[in-house]
Amino acid sequence: MQILDNPFVLDLQEGPIGNYIDEMLRVFGGKHIDNYYIADSKKVDLKVIYHNLPDDVEISVIRFRSKRKITLKRQPHSNPNFIHLNIITSGHFLQNYLEEQAQMQENSDKMVFFYNGQFSIQVELEAGVWYTMIFIKFDYTQFDKLFVEEQSTYEELFKGQFPLAYHFEVPQNIEHLIADFNHYLQNNHRSKMLAKGIEVFADLSTAIKTLKKADQLQGIHEEDYKTLLSIKAYLLRHIEDRISVDEIASEFGLSLSKLKRDFKMIFNTSVKSYHTKIRMEEAYRRLSSGEYSVSGVAYDFGYQNVSKFSQMFKKVKGISPSELIP
């Protein structure tokens, strides 16, 4: 797959999966028939399948790989009782990425993120990477049949109706359920898929309840999110500098553990990895312009050893910096 410059931008109001499909149709084209949406073009390979469970719980799977980066902007919606539970799993990188990097990415993304859609969230998704996202969306005040026992858990977590989000790692006992659900959904085994979807949601709700009782559920408020955006801007301003995560945490009034946890939750990467990534992207831009030498760029970014810069550049960008020199 050829990687292209300039990201695709999806800008939508948070809500049912239909909001996502409408925006994807606008950007990518494709076909939306019944509970399927498919786009297979020069822009993206994309498939969405969705179904409704009892109590108006909507469950869907989005699987895609894009030829450009994707910026996903999700704007707040008006119903604070409508919860969005997302499980995001990245696939393999392109072959020109180092094998250890592909493995790191695949093992680091098995997270559950759920929130009440009351603040804006922006997610950056890499080009050339297969992503699988499972979305479970529901209004917990409408639970009156199968999931009525779960209602109190979500009421307690989101009481006050202010912007709030939580995250946790996918429990091992649920991973095989998710794999089974994906299999049935991709092969259109409707009855098995619905049964497994109910099991996935019920077990995730039980895990959420257990974590809440043990005070192990990590939450983030709107102000925390704004702080993270400020930290991201700080990293961009200091793109040529070496950074200390400890010093950043101190400057922004956060504990080191909270900074690492929240940054990973929102931006799907560590502070150090993000800073390295944007440094190498800027190095790529400068080298591609033909106005800079490899040694000059290396020294600009604080490398005393050009070979170490070249190793990091190739690790992140997949090519040697010398290959960009006209």
3-state secondary structure 126-146: CCCCCEEEEEEEEEHHHCCCC
271-289 helix and 256-267 helix, angle to the nearest 10 degrees: 60
| Same domain for 228 and 162 | no
Q: Which two tokens stand for residue 28?
A: 């990518």
Q: What local confidence, expressed as pLDDT, does residue 89 receive?
A: 63
Q: What local confidence, expressed as pLDDT, does residue 311 receive?
A: 94
Q: What local confidence, expressed as pLDDT, does residue 259 receive?
A: 92
| Same domain for 236 and 208 | no
Q: What local confidence, expressed as pLDDT, does residue 56 receive?
A: 92
Q: What is the pLDDT of residues 242-300, one digit of tens each?
A: 999 999 999 999 999 989 988 887 777 899 999 999 999 999 999 988 899 999 999 99
Rounded Cα distance, 272 and 284, in Å: 18
Of 175, 192, 216, the last residue of a domain is: 216
Q: With a cut of 50, which residues of the chain have pLDDT below it?
A: 1, 3, 91-109
- Match 């049912």 to its residue by tokens: 16
172-186 helix and 190-213 helix, angle to the nearest 10 degrees: 160
Q: What local confidence, expressed as pLDDT, does residue 4 receive?
A: 53
- Asked whether the beta carbons of 53 and 38 are under 8 A apart, the reply is no
Of the candidates 98, 125, 111, the one whose C-alpha atom is nearest the C-alpha of residue 169 is 111
3-class state of residue 113 by DSSP: strand
| Same domain for 267 and 147 | no
2 in any annotated domain = no
Q: What local confidence, expressed as pLDDT, does residue 264 receive?
A: 82
| Same domain for 192 and 45 | yes
- Asked whether the beta carbons of 184 and 196 are under 8 A apart, the reply is yes
Rounded Cα distance, 147 and 86, in Å: 18
Instruction: Determine whether 60 is exposed, middle or buried from the number of CB atoms within 10 Å of its CB (0-12, 13-18, 19+).
Output: buried
133 in any annotated domain = yes
| Same domain for 54 and 198 | yes
| Same domain for 247 and 205 | no
270 in any annotated domain = yes
C-alpha atoms less than 13 angstroms from C-alpha of 226 in its C-beta half-sphere:
5
| Same domain for 244 and 106 | no
Strands 70-75 vs 8-13: parallel, antiparallel or unpaired:
parallel
| Same domain for 162 and 234 | no
| Same domain for 157 and 264 | no
- Asked whether the beta carbons of 69 and 8 are under 8 A apart, the reply is yes
Of 198, 216, 234, the last residue of a domain is: 216
C-alpha atoms less than 13 angstroms from C-alpha of 194 in its C-beta half-sphere:
10
Of the candidates 249, 267, 266, the one whose C-alpha atom is nearest the C-alpha of residue 258 is 249
Of 181, 216, 251, the last residue of a domain is: 216
Q: What local confidence, expressed as pLDDT, does residue 110 receive?
A: 65
Chain-centroid distance, C-alpha 140 = 24
Number of domains in the chain: 2
Range of the domain at 251: 223-324
| Same domain for 177 and 238 | no
Q: What local confidence, expressed as pLDDT, does residue 102 receive?
A: 29
| Same domain for 168 and 315 | no
